Structure 1
Amino acid sequence: MTSEDFIKALVGLDEEKALELARERIEKGDDPLKILEDMRKAADKIGKKFEDGEYFVSDLILTGEIFNEIMEMLKPLIKKKKVKRKGKVVAGTVEGDIHDIGKNIVIALLEAEGFEVIDIGVDQPPEAFIEAIKKHKPDIVSLSGLLTEAIESMKNTIDAIKEAGLRDKVKIIVGGGRTNEEVKEYTEADEWADDAATGVKKMKKLIGAD
């Protein structure tokens, strides 16, 4: 059994095989972060299939169910007994994107590191992020998206946060398989990450908690 087998089962939406391989990896002591990274790779491939018209919304829903089952297995392994509280994060998937896989992986890692996380869900318009900032007063806002079209939604969200007069009150990170330095500059975010572990490291650095 290899990482490639696990990724192939996830991309093929073979729930039984994917869960079986996840259990095997956990039982043999695989690093949970490596399992999460393989899940991210699979999510990127699934997102590409969706954009190419090979997969449909029903496939994305099934993907989310499979990933969430594996996340439940991994959570006990990535949670630490006692961690110092580091800060507060509002996390959500931007408008037009219903993927919650990457977001959920990031949230699990953030909580393990001592962050308080407010998850506002998927397909969230700019107004939802603005309301969450006003209500929760987070240190960081994490904008997630797997699809290429999510980049424009990220920019619209950050523009709306600026117009609401809240931009200087929060750090913003954009995340997902289509993000890069160019996307960070285009959206005018403070940081970007295309994998969960890097995203958490960058968020810690943004608020001086690394």
Structure 2
Amino acid sequence: MSFEVIAECVIAGNEPGAVNGVQGLIDAGTDPLSIINDGLMPGMMVVGERFKAGDMFVPEVLMAARAMNSGIALVKPLINDEDMPNVGTVVIGTVKGDLHDIGKNLVAMMMESAGFKVINLGVDATTDKFVEAVKENNAKIVAMSAMLTTTMVYMKKVIEALEEAGVRDQVKVMIGGAPVTTKFADEIGADLYTVDASSAADEGKNLVA
């Protein structure tokens, strides 16, 4: 089994293939970190590029992410936490009052495949949850999602809470979701609006570079 085959399994959303391939490399004594860096993540990066180009769609991306995550789950116990790829920590959540999570989870998966450590607060996330997570994890990015015009206004409250807690300067704030725009991001003092999950991962890397 080669790194290329594992990458192809991820791209195809072939979870059993990815798991078998990763286990085969582990059994052969392959460096666990290389399995992630040279096999699983390159596959997911191709998925991100195809998704961005409109050549892959959400269900296929979710299958690919599941394949990648199952492979990482096998490898993770063999790697020290400090050796895991980590370009920075992202705290991500759908804001209070909003229960939509497919887009947010897609962004989280893309961020992980780009080498970020992701703290996923889930849906209906309050200002307190965002602030606590930033403090506890020394996060570099806060990513917020809202799918309703009635809940997107809560993003401003989160930014205000970060300011009050004295941690706004240590993080970049990214926002997204169907009703959200660049104009709205500017109005509430967010650093960035991204239109889709793939862009979010790319832009996130630029923000922490």
- TM-superposed CA distance for 1:204, in Å, is 0.7
The answer to whether structure 1 residue 180 and structure 2 residue 181 are counterparts is yes
Consecutive unaligned residues of structure 2, counting only runs of 5 or more, are 1-11, 15-45, 76-82
- Describe the SS at the equivalent of 1:149: helix
Cα distance, 1:35–1:185 mapped onto 2, change above 3 Å: closer
1:114 & 1:26 partners in 2: Cα distance? 19
The answer to whether structure 1 residue 114 and structure 2 residue 119 are counterparts is no
1:39 & 1:97 partners in 2: Cα distance? 23
- TM-superposed CA distance for 1:84, in Å, is 4.2
Consecutive unaligned residues of structure 1, counting only runs of 5 or more, are 1-24, 41-66
The CA deviation string for residues 1-42 of structure 1, in whole angstroms up to 9 with x for no partner, is: xxxxxxxxxxxxxxxxxxxxxxxx868xxx7444586756xx
Contact 2:177 2:195 in 1 (8 A): yes
Of the candidates 69, 73, 81, which is equivalent to residue 63 of structure 2? Answer: 73
1:201 & 1:71 partners in 2: Cα distance? 16
Residue aligning to 1:103: 104
Which letter does structure 2 place at the counterpart of 1:186? E
Contact 2:47 2:61 in 1 (8 A): no
Cα distance, 1:139–1:92 mapped onto 2, change above 3 Å: same
What is the CA RMSD across the aligned residues, in angstroms?
A: 2.8
Contact 2:62 2:106 in 1 (8 A): no
Residue-pair matches, total? 153
Contact 1:96 1:123 in 2 (8 A): yes
Contact 1:173 1:192 in 2 (8 A): yes
- TM-superposed CA distance for 1:150, in Å, is 2.5
- TM-superposed CA distance for 1:169, in Å, is 1.3
Residue aligning to 2:163: 162
Point out the structure with max Rg over C-alpha: 2
Share of identical aligned residues, percent? 34
Residue aligning to 1:93: 94
2:51 & 2:201 partners in 1: Cα distance? 16
Cα distance, 1:125–1:77 mapped onto 2, change above 3 Å: closer
Cα distance, 1:190–1:35 mapped onto 2, change above 3 Å: closer
Contact 2:111 2:200 in 1 (8 A): no
Cα distance, 1:185–1:72 mapped onto 2, change above 3 Å: closer
1:183 & 1:113 partners in 2: Cα distance? 26
The CA deviation string for residues 100-143 of structure 1, in whole angstroms up to 9 with x for no partner, is: 11111011111111110010110011111011111111010111
Cα distance, 1:39–1:72 mapped onto 2, change above 3 Å: closer
Ranges of 4+ aligned residues in structure 1 off by more than 3 Å: 31-40, 77-84
- TM-superposed CA distance for 1:188, in Å, is 0.4
